[in-house]
C-alpha cells in the first residue's frame, strides 16, 4: 500500500473508530413521523401529551419557552432556541408555569393539516409562545437499542451550531404556514434529534454498556461494526478476532466482558433483530429473509429466530411487532 492509500485507510478507520465510533448506530436513526403539532399558545396555558408506545417525543419552543413536566423527574425549563426529547414515549405535560392547568392537546379543536399534522391555538391571552412538537418512531433495531440507553429527558445543548441552525429553520417554518409543512418539519426533526443524541452520547458514552459502549474500544469496536455491517457473512470467532487484530481467546474474553454476551450469540441476536424488521416491513418470504442473513435452511433459521425473539418468524409477521 502506498503512502496516500495508507493515509486514506487510516482516516477511514478513525472516522468510525475514533471520536465518531457511534456513526453506524446514528446512521440507523431514520424516523417515521407519527404525529406533529404546531402550537400557538398564550399564557396561561398547559397541554397534556399522551403516552405513545415506542415513540420519542420532542418539543422545540421557537417563540417563548415551556416547562416540561414528566412524572418522576424534575420539571425542565426549555427556552426559545432549545429542544427537549422524551425518548421513551411516556405521557407528560408542557406548560407555561407549574401552576397552570393543562388540557388534552386534542381539546382546543386543532386544525388538521393532514392525518399526522395539526395546528392548535390555546391559552388565556397573555404572553405568547409557539412550539413545534412531534412524536416519531424508529423501526430499525439498532435505533431502538440506541434509544433504550437515553435518559428519561434529554435537553439539547445551546452550543450546537447544527441544532441552532435547524431550530431557526423550524421557527421560519412555524411562522410561514406554507404548504408541505409536514414534510419540512419531518426532515428538520430528523437532523435535530440525531444531533441531540450524538451530543449526549459523546458526553455520556463512557457510562454506556453493551455493544454501544463496546464501540469505544478500538479493537472490539472494529469487530462489532463488521458484524453489524455484514451480518450475512459466515463469521467465526476466529474471523472476528482477526478483524480486531487479537488472538481468538483474548478476543472472545474481551468481547464478552464488554458486550455482555459471546460474539456469536451477539451476531445471532443482531441477525434475528434485522430479520424481524424485514419480515414486518416487506412481503419477502421467510426463505428469502433466511437466505439474506446467511441461512441455507429455513428450519435452522426458524429455530434460531424463535430461540432469540421468543416467537416464530410467521407469528412476528402477523403481529407486526418486534418487541
pLDDT tens for the chain, 323 residues long, are: 443 333 333 333 333 334 344 666 666 666 677 888 889 999 999 999 999 887 899 999 989 999 999 999 999 999 998 899 999 989 999 999 999 999 998 888 888 878 888 889 999 999 999 999 988 887 777 777 777 888 899 988 666 788 888 888 888 877 776 777 777 887 888 888 888 888 887 777 667 788 888 888 889 999 998 998 899 999 999 999 999 999 999 999 999 999 999 999 999 999 998 898 888 888 889 999 999 999 989 999 999 999 999 999 988 876 655 54
Q: Classify domain 265-319 at the CATH topology level.
A: Arc Repressor Mutant, subunit A (1.10.10)
- DSSP result, 219-246: HHHHHHHHHHH-TTS---HHHHHHHTTS
CA distances (Å), origin 127, targets 41, 45, 49, 94: 8, 10, 21, 15
**Domain chopping of the chain, boundaries:** 31-207, 265-319
8 Å CB contact between 58 and 134: yes
Q: What share of the chain is helix, strand, coil (3-state, %, to 5)?
A: 45, 20, 35
Calculate the CA dihedral of residues 313, 317, 322, 323 and round it to 10 degrees: -100
Torsion sign, CA atoms 82, 86, 89, 94: negative
Closest CA to 186 of 203, 208, 170, 210: 170
Q: Which CATH number fits domain 31-207: 3.30.530.20, 2.60.120.280, 3.90.1010.10, 3.40.50.1010?
A: 2.60.120.280
pTM of the model: 0.73
Amino acid at each position: 500500500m502506498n503512502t496516500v492509500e495508507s493515509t486514506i485507510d487510516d482516516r477511514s478507520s478513525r472516522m468510525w473508530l475514533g471520536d465518531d465510533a457511534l456513526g453506524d448506530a446514528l446512521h440507523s436513526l431514520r424516523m417515521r413521523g407519527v404525529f406533529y403539532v404546531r402550537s400557538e399558545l398564550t399564557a396561561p396555558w398547559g397541554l397534556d401529551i399522551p403516552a405513545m408506545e415506542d415513540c420519542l417525543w420532542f418539543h422545540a419552543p421557537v417563540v417563548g419557552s415551556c416547562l416540561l413536566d414528566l412524572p418522576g423527574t424534575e420539571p425542565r425549563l426549555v427556552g426559545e432556541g432549545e429542544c427537549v426529547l422524551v425518548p421513551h414515549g411516556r405521557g407528560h405535560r408542557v406548560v407555561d408555569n407549574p401552576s397552570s392547568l393543562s388540557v388534552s392537546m386534542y381539546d382546543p379543536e386543532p386544525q388538521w393539516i393532514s392525518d399526522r399534522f395539526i395546528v392548535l391555538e390555546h391559552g388565556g391571552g397573555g404572553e405568547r409562545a409557539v412550539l413545534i412538537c412531534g412524536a416519531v418512531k424508529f423501526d430499525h433495531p439498532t435505533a431502538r437499542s440506541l434509544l433504550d440507553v437515553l435518559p428519561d429527558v434529554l435537553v439539547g445543548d445551546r452550543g450546537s451550531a447544527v441544532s441552532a441552525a435547524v431550530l431557526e429553520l423550524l421557527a421560519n417554518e412555524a411562522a410561514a404556514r406554507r404548504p408541505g409543512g409536514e414534510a419540512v418539519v419531518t426532515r428538520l426533526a430528523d437532523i435535530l434529534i440525531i444531533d441531540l443524541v450524538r451530543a449526549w452520547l459523546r458526553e455520556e458514552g463512557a457510562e454506556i454498556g453493551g455493544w454501544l459502549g463496546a464501540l469505544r474500544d478500538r479493537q472490539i469496536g472494529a469487530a462489532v461494526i463488521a458484524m453489524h455491517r455484514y451480518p450475512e457473512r459466515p463469521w467465526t470467532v476466529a474471523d472476528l478476532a482477526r478483524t480486531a487484530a487479537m488472538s481468538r481467546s483474548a478476543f472472545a474474553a474481551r468481547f464478552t466482558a464488554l458486550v455482555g454476551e459471546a460474539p456469536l450469540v451477539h451476531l445471532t441476536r443482531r441477525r434475528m433483530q434485522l430479520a424481524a424488521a424485514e419480515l414486518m416491513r416487506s412481503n419477502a418470504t421467510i426463505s428469502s429473509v433466511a437466505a439474506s442473513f446467511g441461512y441455507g435452511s429455513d428450519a435452522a433459521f426458524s429455530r434460531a429466530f424463535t430461540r432469540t425473539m421468543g416467537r416464530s418468524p410467521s407469528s412476528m409477521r402477523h403481529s407486526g411487532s418486534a418487541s
